[in-house]
Amino acid sequence: MHIATMSPGARARLLDEPGLRPQTAGMAEPKDLMAVDVHTDDVGDFNVTEPGWYAVDDGGKVVLGPFDSLAQCERAIRERLQRTVAPKEPEVPT
């Protein structure tokens, strides 16, 4: 689900992880993750089976969760981003 098609309640509860941005028009691949607090009334909007905190990519797809708290969800997002970022090769002095 894209942020623009979320219910007003779900959109209002959307918390953008610092340093990450929601999807903008024209992005080819979902890459960024954001924490979303999905309440019982919004479970169907996100195609999940239970309420909780979820990591949602900028294409609106649930990637991780559910989590009991925002802190747990943010930690999972950070860990996932750290695993996907290629480590920088150390520079060799010449």
Q: Where in the chain are the domains? A: 3-24+32-84
Distance from CA of residue 57 to its chain's centroid?
A: 4
* CA-based R_g, the chain, Å: 15
Query: Which pTM was predicted?
Result: 0.60
Read off the amino acid at residue 52. G
Instruction: Give the integer Cα–Cα distance in Å for 28 and 46.
Output: 21
64-81, pLDDT tens digit by residue? 999 999 999 999 999 988
Report the C-alpha dihedral over residues 71, 86, 14, 54, rounded to 10 degrees: -60
Identify the pLDDT of residue 88. Answer: 65
